[in-house]
Structure 1
Amino acid sequence: MGGNCWTDTGPYQEDLAAAFRRAQAEELAADDHGFGAGRTAEELWRDPDWQEYILTGGTGSVLDFPLMTDAADPDDGPFLRPLTEAEIRAFAPGGRPTLAEWDAALDDGRLDFPDRAQGRCTVLYTDGEPTGIGYWGCTAD
């Protein structure tokens, strides 16, 4: 089997890790994937059954990652990583990608989907102001 690629967006927060946790909480509120309402992503990732669920199928969402790493960290685990400035400028030369630029870059291959069990995120802008966060990744299966 190969991983399934996915995309999503969420509201902007200056603290990207806090925005990631918020996106996870919202995703869990919409669908707990049969693991019981009221549990946080952190709690789920301590559950071996959740780990097995993610690593053999996944949710196709921000729930597939236990944590966000630094933009400069290597890609060697099931983590969400923000893009580096160079990665952003490669598809959005002005450094402030809009939702439309992000979508187009994913569609035409200027922005790649990461390898299986990895995710990315970047701030999205409207009229030069940060207004959202784009999330995308690939499931582990």
Structure 2
Amino acid sequence: MGGNAWSHVGRYQPDPAAAFRQEQEAELARDDHGFPGRTVEELWRDREWMEYIYTGGTATVLDQSIMVEPTDTGGGPYMRPLTDAEIRAWAPDGRPTHAAWRAALGSDRLPFPGRACGNCTVLFDDDGPAGMAYWGVTAD
């Protein structure tokens, strides 16, 4: 199999790691994928969950176990915020909108990460930060 690309927009928080964890908990509340009554942290300590993720996954923010630093480009499963230079490559003002992000994802200006990895960035509107964009590829 070749991994499946996915994308999602969630709520903004000033701390990207906190926003990521909040989005994971919200996704888990929407669909526990057959693993009821567990937190994200508990799932990532469960070998059955890891097997589930590595052989198909959820195609959501649940497929990444942690958030790493923007400069950490090692292997997944992790969520990585884009660096300022990566953002400015497709949003020159450094304040990407939802529309600019969608357009960049549909072009060669913003590639999807490798298998089992996710990327994220803050999205802006006229009033300031408006959401967090997440996109990634399943591990399978």
Q: Same fold (TM over 0.5)?
A: yes
Query: Deviation at 1:105?
Result: 0.1
- Equivalence for 1:66: 65
Moved over 3 A (4+): none
Residue 75 of structure 1 and its aligned partner are, at CA, apart by 2.9
Percent of counterpart pairs with the same letter? 62
Distance 1:28 1:50 in 2: 13
- For the residue of structure 1 that corresponds to 2:89, the secondary structure is helix
**Matched residue, 2:117:** 118
* Residues 92 and 128 of structure 1: CA distance in aligned 2, closer, same or farther (over 3 Å): farther
What TM-score does the superposition give when structure 2 sets the normalisation length? 0.98
| Cross-structure match for 1:6 | 6
Distance 1:115 1:102, change over 3 A: same
- Tell me which moved more, 75-84 or 42-51: 75-84
Question: How many residues align structurally?
Answer: 140
Higher helix share: 1
The runs of 5 or more residues in structure 2 that have no matched partner are none
Deviations 1:9-50 (A, max 9, x none): 0010000000000000000000000011x3111110000000
Is residue 2:132 matched to residue 1:133?
A: yes
Deviation at 1:80, TM superposition (A): 0.4
